[in-house]
Amino acid sequence: MHEYDLMQKVIAAILAELTKPGVGPQGEVLEVALKVGALAVHSEAATRQAYEILTKGTILENSRLDLTILPVTLACSQCGHQGPLPEGEVDPHEVTPLAECPQCGAVSPVQGERGVAAIELRWE
C-alpha cells in the first residue's frame, strides 16, 4: 500500500506537469526514470505493479519504468566503515533506523532517502 501511495503522487505530478501550457509530450513517452530512496520503497515489485496499474488509461500507459532504488548507507562512528547496506537490513518504518556495522558490530544510525530523489522523462 505504501508503494501505491508513492506512485500515485509521482504519476499525478508527472501528468500535472505534462498538462501545463507549452510543456506537452515531445513524442511518445518511452521511459520514466525514477530514483527513490530505499527508505521510501519497501518492495520493488510492489512499486512496479503500482506504476503499471496507475498509468493505465493515461499518456504514460505504454511507458517503461526505469526504477533506481538508492541504497541505505552506514557510516560507523566506531571503526569508520562506510558503505551501503543490503536490502532488508533496515526497517524503513523506524523514525531513526539503526543497523549493526558489518565490520565491528557497533550500532549506528543509517542514512538514506525517504522520498523521490529524481524523476526524468525520456522521449522517443
Decide if 102 is inside a domain. Answer: no
Rounded mean pLDDT of 6-21?
91
C-alpha cell at 57: 488509461
Decide if 38 is inside a domain. Answer: yes
pLDDT digits (tens, 9 = 90+) for 65-117: 999 999 899 999 999 999 998 877 888 778 888 899 989 999 999 988 888 99
> Could you tell me the residue range of the domain that residue 33 belongs to?
2-70+115-123
The CATH number for 24's domain is: 3.30.2320.50
Reported as a pLDDT band with limits 50, 70 and 90, residue 1 is low
Angle at which helices 44-55 and 2-18 cross, to 10°: 40
For residue 7, pLDDT beyond 70:
yes
For residue 4, count CB atoms less than 10 angstroms from its CB and return exposed for 0-12, middle for 13-18, buried for 19 or more: middle
Decide if 79 is inside a domain. Answer: no
Closest among 64, 54, 59 to 28, alpha carbons compared: 59
Q: Would you state the pLDDT for residue 101? A: 92
Q: Would you state the pLDDT for residue 80? A: 93
Decide if 93 is inside a domain. Answer: no
Beta-sheet strands, E only, within the chain:
29-37, 64-70, 73-75, 82-84, 98-100, 107-111, 116-123
Number of domains in the chain: 1
Decide if 30 is inside a domain. Answer: yes
**Statement: the pTM of the whole predicted model exceeds 0.85:** no
Decide if 96 is inside a domain. Answer: no
Decide if 40 is inside a domain. Answer: yes
Q: Would you state the pLDDT for residue 65? A: 96
Query: What is the rounded distance in angstroms from the CA atom of residue 96 to the CA atom of residue 94?
Result: 5
Decide if 31 is inside a domain. Answer: yes
pLDDT digits (tens, 9 = 90+) for 25-65: 677 777 999 999 988 887 899 999 999 999 999 989 999 99
